[in-house]
Chains A and B, each alone.
Chain A
Amino acid sequence: DIQMTQSPSAMSASVGDRVTITCRASQGISNHLVWFQQKPGKVPKRLIYASSSLQSGVPSRFSGSGSGTEFTLTISSLQPEDFATYYCLQHNSDPLTFGGGTKVEIK
C-alpha cells in the first residue's frame, strides 16, 4: 500500500499568511493526487485534482504542485474562510490512501 505522509498535522496562521502543506508518497504516484478541504460537520470539498488542476469555483489563491512522491498545496494569502482541515488523497493505485490531514487554525 502507498503511504501518504502529510505535514504539518496542525498549524496556526494569520489572515494574509502564505500557507504550505506537503504530502509525501511512499512510492511514485505520477500526478494522481487530489487535495480536499473539510470544515467541521461539512462534506469534503475538492480543491485540486491531478496534482495541480484547480477545481472550478475554487479561489485562485489555492494552488497545487508536485509529481512523483512530493506534493504541495499552497494558499497564497490565507482568508478567514480557509480555516479548515486539508487532506491529500492518492489514487494512483488501490487501495486509495489519504494523508493524515492538516488542521489550519487561527493564530
Chain B
Amino acid sequence: EVQLVESGGGLVQPGRSLRLSCTTSGFTFRDSGMSWMRHLPGKGLEWVGFIRNKAYGGAAVYGASVKGRFTISRDDSRSIAYLQMDSLKTEDTAVYYCTRDGRGTNSYYFDCWGQGTLVTVSS
C-alpha cells in the first residue's frame, strides 16, 4: 500500500523558517518525482513545486509565489522528500501536501497524497 506522511507543520512567525518532511512507503521512491501542493484557507489548491528523480537529474522547479524562498530536496536512501520554507509570509499559511509525481514516466502522478500538514504563519 502506498503511503505518504507529512510532518513538520506548525505555528511560525513571519520571516522564520520551517522544514516539512514527506515520509513515503509502498512504492519505489527513487524512481518517482515528488510534488508539493498547498490548500490556502478559504481558497483553492496551489502547486508549490516538484523535484525530479535522480535519473532525470534530480532538479526542482517552483511556483512563482515561493520561488527563491522554498527549496525541495529528497533523500532516496530514506524515501523522504523535504520542503524547506524560508522567509515565511502570512500568505504561506496553508495545509501542505506531498504527492507522488511520476509524470513522463508512468501514470502514477497525483494519485496518492499525504494527509496534509498545517502551516500557520502569524506573529
Contact = CB atoms under 8 A, between A and B. Distances in A.
Interface of A: 1, 34, 36, 38, 43-44, 46, 49-50, 53, 55, 87, 89, 91, 94-101
Contacts of B109: 34, 49, 91
Given A95-B64, A98-B46, A99-B44, 20 more contacts: A34-B110, A43-B114, A43-B115, A43-B116, A44-B39, A44-B113, A49-B110, A50-B107, A87-B45, A89-B110, A91-B103, A91-B109, A91-B110, A94-B50, A94-B61, A95-B62, A96-B63, A98-B45, A100-B44, A101-B44
Given A49-B109, A53-B107, A95-B64, A89 B115 contact: no
A43 B110 contact: no
Nearest to B115: A43
Contacts of A95: 47, 61-64
Task: Decide if the interface of chain A is mainly helix, strand, loop or mixed.
Answer: loop
B111 A46 contact: yes
Contacts of B35: 96
Contacts of B44: 87, 98-101
Contacts of A46: 110-111
B97 A44 contact: yes
A46 B25 CA distance: 19
B107 A1 contact: no
A100 B46 CA distance: 10
B107 A49 contact: yes
Interface string B33-61: 00101010000111100100000000001
Contacts of A99: 44
